[in-house]
Amino acid sequence: MTYIVNDNCIACKYTDCVEVCPVDCFYEGENMLVIHPDECIDCGVCEPECPADAIRPDTEPDMEKWVEFNRKYSEMWPVIITKKDPLPNAEEMDGKSGKIDLFSEAPGEGG
C-alpha cells in the first residue's frame, strides 16, 4: 500500500505533510505535491496533516489512476522536505471541484 496526493492539492499546495514524512517521498510541482509510491512506507503520518484532505490511501476505490499520476510526476519533480507557505489562493481553492483543469506539469523549486 501507498498513499497518494489527489487533485484536492491543486492550486492549494499545503506543505504541512512534507515535514512529517520520515522517508522524504514528497515531490513538488508548480501547483501541487505528489508522493512517490515506491518510496512511501505506508506510515500514514502525512494524511491527517493535509488541510485540503488531498492525501488518501491507495486502497480506496478508483485510486489506480492517482498512483500512476503520483509516480509519473514524482520522477520528474524535485523532492521537497521543508514546509513552505501554501499558494496565495489556497483557502479560496480548497474544496473546489474540477481543479484538474488547473494542473501544471511544471516542476516546483523543491527544497
Q: Can you spell out the DSSP letters for 23-43?
A: T--EEEBSS-EEE-TTT----
Give this prediction's pTM: 0.96
Model confidence at 38, in pLDDT bands (50, 70, 90)? very high
Q: State the Cα–Cα distance between residues 85 and 18, nearest whole angstrom.
A: 12
User: What stretch of H or E contains 70?
Assistant: helix 64-74
pLDDT at 57: 97
Tens-digit pLDDT profile for residues 50-93:
999 999 999 999 999 999 999 999 999 999 999 999 999 999 99
CATH 3.40.640.10 fits 3-85, yes or no: no
Q: Can you spell out the DSSP letters for 5-23?
A: E-GGGTTT---HHHHH-TT
